[in-house]
Structure 1
């Protein structure tokens, strides 16, 4: 059995830090149920700079010059009667007025959020190009053609992040053990995060859906709705049955003794693995829940874990019908902590020691953090999946998995690690390529 908090079943290789120092138990301010920390005063928003490509117009066409007609003497003709006057034909305005040039969409869209200039993870996966292909998603005040995609974050629980104002839901607390729950009872309708790891779920959710509002960071899908489902105790550990029930509920399936979820999700993000079980394969309870959620039509995105080991022994990373994600550095290689193996489908930015993923968090100095781990890699894939569903709402979990893995950027030299067995899936997530291919197809419309 694996019970070590320091390997973080919540898949951050390094604990979220306070004041730039590594967190120790009790060092991160706890969030009592229903309460949040003060929101730092944001800087004045700066308008995004969008530079359209120059419109290439064809050169003006002129009729060819005809040689003058040869003038020859002619016999005078008899006087001719003038023909009757007839009106000239009406020329359509479209012929008289040259057509207006067709605007070429910008090649990239760059949010005005101040942290974006340091979000290397977003440029690595081609988010500026992906956003430019979906202007209705990123345009402030714009209305998408489809309802917002709901993403469930099964994690440490609800934090009322200003990055998700009006789009984050306090879901349900599935931690059944009152001792580990830290809120004085077992399962209940308040999923608020409690304890030193309370903000782990907030960071994951912000990567997926932080607003493009000129403050903090820019999330992948700024129109997505987040449902926070608490499955982790204050110790950061996850009971298998709590996780299995949380999976079912998040997708809108019935769980005995628990009220129905009014906001069922199409994408579930699990930056975690189950504890209190051997790491020898997928736990049957979790596999049954995964299969039911998959049949319901929801995609499950899972972090591979941070032990530098084969991910196939972990639950749910080693389960069938999930999309398992490991970490990649900015250079596209596997950091030492990241799990690997045949169960891993794709890699995404997870950072490394000294070069984490820049994120907004109420718990960070100045409202920022730079954690690393497969906890950070998984929400990149979940966010892009939700973006694809915004454009193609009928894509199935199988189609989403195929699209995301098929369009991934190949690893440098064809592999993420010199050791052949330490594979990382098909490549590094490529949001621009995935969105482009989805829009070029009628699949999922």
Structure 2
């Protein structure tokens, strides 16, 4: 639950006098605000204060407080609550801060506060040439409708009404507090209740507010923002032009709109402002005259220090609008009206009013995502724990104030809030007695979960889901998006003394996988890891206990019908962490009766076991235990000459005094012969001689030198040297312009037979 914001204290207001406020930081539109071209203005009206009395004041009490601050006039404000606040217009020599201080000394005054300013700065990039859409199109095929299953919700509502043999029920009134609306827009004619579309600014008679028909520009929407918001809620569906609203329904019989202009005050021709008092008038009109069940406010301001972007004023006191907060509280809790607000477009967790008030449903903007597990929040949208739910709001199509359509160019939380308002209206249509608290609970509990599982700071409970919300209010099961295929061919195998590798086959449509683990086949499997990417089909679980059995299951996840979808868990596979398999085992000749083994170190190994056989598939004998995990060689001597030997190695780790062995390495084979000979070659160009020399090979009888005229040609024996002889050979009378290649090998005469070692590397010369 949001933390309640306390009433503004007088000490805070006194400190306001020392601050310099500017509109770009303190009053912003909820639609894609940018800071350029915004006129400098205070965070509140500079010559007005709002005063709230403890009880309904007499004329004498009103006159007394007016005279106390030398106010030029006092205007009564109608609110949905019992108390009647007044707007006092101050003399130009009187400051708001001083007036508030004086007013709160009066015994009849409950509190006083500035008349705060709320701004909207429309996204001018969206004001492209808007033209009427061609005929014969599916005006309901909009990404924002598809993301929230709006059309499926309409079908369900239609089914319920028809099944009951009912005529269409009474339309639900949605009040849009904004800049007005184009009363002649062709796509809004079935939804607008024109007699309740009024301008409340500057009018003190709630029964006789100025009709929007008197507004000269855009047929009732001089500010240009309210028509966009209205179209998202209730543009006519199925007429083959333009767009369709979230709550238009299959037969355009779900909602009607009362659009209330609270923005006629402005400081330039482009930048409109609304005051606390005028917004309160709009709320009161919506509740008392229009009979609204839902109020949409795509507006806001940041109640903090414009320099630090903090939500606190000097002295640590929140700059809250107490009167507006109380008015909203009364409308929601006494008048049973759901109030939906945009979360703001500062792309941060900055405080935003009125959306952050406890009684408002604050809406974050989301993108046309393809992966529900990605960060679906729109780039510029505010977010945080003070917000409540998300809705599509980036690059949407809606009605344009001049009569056409924005064609996928309207962006911001201003466009997201009316989506939620439209779904809330559907709930009231089906259950008129529903409370705002029940509406909030249904909307959040049925929202399409996005990004991380469950409630998160970026999208809160996720995108509003019209079908799921309507299903729940009707007592029906909430539709499931379906399931992915179960991962197949799951395997688990040791990948080291403290790790197990789990692998599986790719699942079509998956965007990632969850790995679940238990310590017994019938135990509780809990998620231990999530891997992203359809092509990632393995995971190595580290930090495990050696020789302990672990069981694994795998679940795929992905996006089906814009929603998170999962597969069933796979069957369980088990493995024990044991030392890894020694890699890169190689064998080398040492003598004609010895072989040297060499391998790479195994992490965590306490030692190694060496095994030998005289045939690849024969019986392997344990020949040596290496007791140091860092010792990576072993020389096996005393073997039979000219005989094949096969070796394999495995690592072990000592745990509680017991050796835990890993798997064997691959088998390597070598025949016992003299070691390899290493030769060098020098040439005497003048005498055309090639001199071959070589290093001594242990325990051999002699050496043989070979020559060829091509590298892969036939080599002929050109010299045989005993081991006691000089280890060199000179090849004479070589021909100019011809290539010569040399190699040599050692031999051992054993039992009357020569045993040859491997050939040396080949050396080349040319004259």
TM-score (norm 2): 0.39
Task: Name the structure 2 match of 1:258.
Answer: none
Task: Name the structure 2 match of 1:293.
Answer: 331
Whether the aligned pair in 1 keeps the contact of 2:391 and 2:464 (CA below 8 Å) is yes
- Equivalents in 2 of 1:274, 1:392: separation in Å? 33
Whether the aligned pair in 2 keeps the contact of 1:388 and 1:438 (CA below 8 Å) is yes
Task: Name the structure 1 match of 2:292.
Answer: 265
Structure-to-structure mapping, 1:367-406, within 5 angstroms: 368=407, 370-406=409-445
Whether the aligned pair in 1 keeps the contact of 2:33 and 2:122 (CA below 8 Å) is no
Counterpart of 1:148 (choices 154, 157, 171) is 171
Structure-to-structure mapping, 1:1-400, within 5 angstroms: 1-4=21-24, 8-13=28-33, 21=125, 43-45=134-136, 112-113=138-139, 116-117=140-141, 119-135=142-158, 145-160=168-183, 161-168=185-192, 169=194, 170-176=196-202, 188-191=209-212, 192=215, 198-212=223-237, 213-222=239-248, 223=253, 224-233=255-264, 234=266, 235-252=271-288, 261=289, 263-274=290-301, 279-280=311-312, 281=318, 282-294=320-332, 295-311=334-350, 313-331=351-369, 333-351=376-394, 356-363=395-402, 368=407, 370-400=409-439
Judging by fraction of residues, say which structure has more strand: 2
Whether the aligned pair in 1 keeps the contact of 2:148 and 2:465 (CA below 8 Å) is yes
- Equivalents in 1 of 2:354, 2:187: separation in Å? 28
Q: 1:176 to 1:392 in 2, by over 3 A?
A: same
Over residues 255-280 of structure 1, what are the superposed CA-to-partner deviations in whole Å (9 max), with x where a residue is unaligned?
xxxxxx2x220000000014788654
Whether the aligned pair in 1 keeps the contact of 2:347 and 2:383 (CA below 8 Å) is yes
- Equivalents in 1 of 2:154, 2:225: separation in Å? 26
Instruction: Report deviation, 1:365.
Output: 6.2
Instruction: Report deviation, 1:319.
Output: 0.8
Over residues 310-335 of structure 1, what are the superposed CA-to-partner deviations in whole Å (9 max), with x where a residue is unaligned?
25x32211112111111111225112
- Equivalents in 2 of 1:194, 1:315: separation in Å? 29
Whether the aligned pair in 1 keeps the contact of 2:365 and 2:393 (CA below 8 Å) is yes
- Equivalents in 2 of 1:246, 1:427: separation in Å? 30
Task: Name the structure 2 match of 1:428.
Answer: 463
Aligned-residue CA RMSD (Å) = 3.4
Instruction: Report deviation, 1:204.
Output: 0.5
Specify every segment of 5 or more residues in structure 2 that has no aligned partner in the other structure, as ranges: 1-20, 35-120, 306-310, 313-317, 477-767
Does residue 437 (structure 1) correspond to residue 472 (structure 2)? The answer is yes
Over residues 63-82 of structure 1, what are the superposed CA-to-partner deviations in whole Å (9 max), with x where a residue is unaligned?
xxxxxxxxxxxxxxxxxxxx
Q: 1:276 to 1:326 in 2, by over 3 A?
A: closer
Instruction: Report deviation, 1:128.
Output: 2.4
- Equivalents in 2 of 1:410, 1:342: separation in Å? 16
Deviates more, 1:128-137 or 1:323-332: 128-137
Instruction: Report deviation, 1:164.
Output: 1.7
Whether the aligned pair in 1 keeps the contact of 2:336 and 2:436 (CA below 8 Å) is yes
Q: 1:395 to 1:135 in 2, by over 3 A?
A: same
TM-score (norm 1): 0.66
Q: 1:434 to 1:2 in 2, by over 3 A?
A: farther
**Largest Rg, 1 or 2:** 2
Whether the aligned pair in 2 keeps the contact of 1:238 and 1:275 (CA below 8 Å) is no
Over residues 284-315 of structure 1, what are the superposed CA-to-partner deviations in whole Å (9 max), with x where a residue is unaligned?
0111110111120100000001112325x322
Over residues 203-244 of structure 1, what are the superposed CA-to-partner deviations in whole Å (9 max), with x where a residue is unaligned?
111111111122211111223110011112452322122112
- Equivalents in 2 of 1:291, 1:400: separation in Å? 15
- Equivalents in 1 of 2:465, 2:292: separation in Å? 23
- Equivalents in 1 of 2:410, 2:158: separation in Å? 30
Instruction: Report deviation, 1:385.
Output: 0.6
What's the secondary structure of 2:339's corresponding residue?
strand
What's the secondary structure of 2:418's corresponding residue?
helix
What's the secondary structure of 1:238's corresponding residue?
strand
Specify every segment of 5 or more residues in structure 1 that has no aligned partner in the other structure, as ranges: 29-38, 47-111, 178-186, 253-260
What's the secondary structure of 2:272's corresponding residue?
coil
Whether the aligned pair in 2 keeps the contact of 1:127 and 1:432 (CA below 8 Å) is yes
Task: Name the structure 1 match of 2:12.
Answer: none
- Equivalents in 1 of 2:377, 2:277: separation in Å? 31
